[in-house]
């Protein structure tokens, strides 16, 4: 990896944005060449990213991918080694945290236990010396938005985890920051409550039009919440796109493996097909040159059981309510398929044929 150049000092500079067409969304945040080093370790490697006004963009990736470092650089909790952070056309790279007009929602809520819900939500406005009547009106509106108008006089200890997270979100919404950063905000909640809060966050985002950057390592959460997903790996952006683009059109094998469940069958191109351990498999469209190493990515819903050009042994079945996940050993290759939950003739240890329509499998060159 290359070592970033010295930081570029541009404090106080305003940047002219490119002229937008009538249909082009306004850019709220620009990250340009942002890098962060810890000694010789590169935590973030010259990242470029635009965040559109009013969108919910998720920073997704495994531990150590750089997503939390990027979040901290955006909100000013760390200084970059190089690069710029531009918010509303103004360089904020070296601005202190309290000057960036950014709200942050943390995983641990960070509520004041000795204050009521209303006092917690209004604290930032009180620090800004707003008139009491204005504070009360803004707090009431924020609590109504998150569905907690009835709990204004309660203490945080009297609320459930989901309710406390709503208070933390209301505390950001109340002063209308330019950007709201949410750092693993649902990580402390149980699975059922996480689903409820995902729906609430989508509703609040739709109703307020807030610009939200949401950090998570949970790919299902990212698919459910996001307008766009920024998937990170090794300090770089692996792919940026809508949830549907990330799932249906992964640009590399890391993305295909990280987003959703896939069967990834590796091999070498030979005579327009992929020569693999489970047989010669069709490649849709124009195949690359013979000798190219690559892989077919097949989603579970694309695999047809009981027919096709491959055969394997059912190693395990996992009941999921509406569906049955079927794990097949096909030699040295694991294949994951889905069947209706009512399917009663798929026994562990049985032999099953399977296949898929060629156009349902995505071929990717193996960069590894």
Give tens-digit pLDDT for 147-179. 999 999 999 999 988 899 889 889 989 988 999
Average pLDDT (34-42) is: 94
- Name 114's Cβ contacts closer than 8 Å, sequence gap at least 6: 155
Residue 150 in domain:
no
End position of a domain, from candidates 253, 279, 295: 253
Say if CB 60 and CB 67 are below 8 A apart: yes
Residues 70 and 96 placed together within one structural domain of the fold: yes
The CATH number of residue 78's host domain is 3.40.50.300
Say if CB 354 and CB 335 are below 8 A apart: yes
Residues 189 and 66 placed together within one structural domain of the fold: yes
Residue 59 in domain:
yes
How far apart, in Å, are the Cα atoms of 153 and each of 119, 138, 145, 147?
8, 15, 16, 14
What pLDDT does 109 receive?
Answer: 74
Residue 322 in domain:
yes
Give me the domain span that covers residue 308.
263-365
Other C-beta atoms closer than 10 Å to the C-beta of 330 total 20
Residues 274 and 360 placed together within one structural domain of the fold: yes
- Name 115's Cβ contacts closer than 8 Å, sequence gap at least 6: 123, 155, 156
The CATH number of residue 267's host domain is 2.40.50.140
Give tens-digit pLDDT for 51-73. 999 999 999 999 999 999 999 99
Give tens-digit pLDDT for 221-247. 999 999 999 999 999 999 999 999 999
Residue 213 in domain:
yes
Euclidean distance between CA atoms 345 and 162, whole angstroms: 42
Residues forming beta bridges with residue 285, ordered by sequence position: none
Residue 21 in domain:
no
Structural domain total, the chain: 2
- Name 296's Cβ contacts closer than 8 Å, sequence gap at least 6: 264, 265, 267, 274, 276, 281, 283, 361, 362, 363
| Token pair 């307008």 in the structure block, residue | 227
Residues 186 and 225 placed together within one structural domain of the fold: yes
Give tens-digit pLDDT for 85-127. 999 999 999 999 888 999 988 877 788 999 999 999 999 899 8
What pLDDT does 367 receive?
Answer: 81
Angle (nearest 5°) at CA 188 between 187 and 190: 95
End position of a domain, from candidates 234, 253, 272: 253
Q: Where does the pLDDT of residue 27 fall: very low under 50, low under 70, confident under 90, or very high at 90 and above?
A: very high
């Amino acid at each position: 990896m290359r070592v970033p150049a010295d930081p570029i000092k541009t404090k106080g500079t305003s940047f002219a944005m490119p002229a937008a067409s009538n249909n082009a969304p306004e850019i709220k945040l620009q990250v340009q060449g942002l890098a962060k080093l810890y000694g010789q370790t590169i935590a973030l490697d010259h990242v470029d990213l635009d965040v559109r006004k009013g969108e919910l963009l998720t920073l997704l990736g495994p531990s150590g991918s750089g997503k939390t470092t990027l979040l901290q650089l955006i909100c000013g909790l760390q200084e970059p080694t190089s690069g710029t952070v531009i918010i509303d056309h103004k360089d904020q790279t070296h601005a202190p945290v309290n000057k960036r007009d950014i709200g942050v929602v943390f995983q641990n809520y960070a509520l004041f236990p000795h204050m009521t819900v209303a006092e917690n939500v209004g604290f930032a406005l009180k620090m800004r010396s707003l008139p009491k009547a204005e504070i009360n009106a803004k707090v009431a509106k924020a609590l109504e938005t998150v569905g907690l108008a009835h709990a204004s006089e309660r203490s945080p200890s009297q609320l459930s985890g989901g309710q406390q997270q709503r208070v933390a979100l209301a505390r950001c919404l109340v002063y209308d920051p330019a950007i709201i950063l949410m750092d693993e905000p649902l990580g402390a909640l149980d699975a059922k409550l996480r689903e409820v809060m995902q729906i609430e966050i989508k509703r609040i985002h739709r109703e307020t039009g807030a610009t939200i950057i949401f950090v998570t390592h949970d790919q299902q959460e990212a698919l459910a919440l996001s307008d766009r997903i920024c998937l990170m790996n090794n300090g770089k952006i692996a792919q940026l796109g809508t949830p549907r683009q990330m799932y249906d059109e992964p640009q590399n094998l890391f993305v295909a493996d990280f987003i959703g469940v896939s069967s990834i069958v590796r091999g070498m191109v030979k005579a327009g097909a992929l020569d693999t351990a489970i047989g010669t498999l069709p490649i849709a469209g124009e195949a690359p040159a013979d000798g190219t190493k690559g892989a077919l990515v097949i989603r579970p819903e694309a695999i047809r059981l009981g027919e096709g050009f491959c055969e394997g042994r059912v190693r395990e079945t996992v009941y999921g309510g509406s569906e049955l996940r079927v794990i097949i050993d096909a030699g040295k290759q694991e294949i994951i398929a889905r069947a209706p939950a009512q399917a009663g003739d798929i026994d562990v240890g049985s032999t099953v044929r399977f296949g898929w329509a060629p156009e349902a499998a995505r071929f990717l060159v193996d960069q590894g």
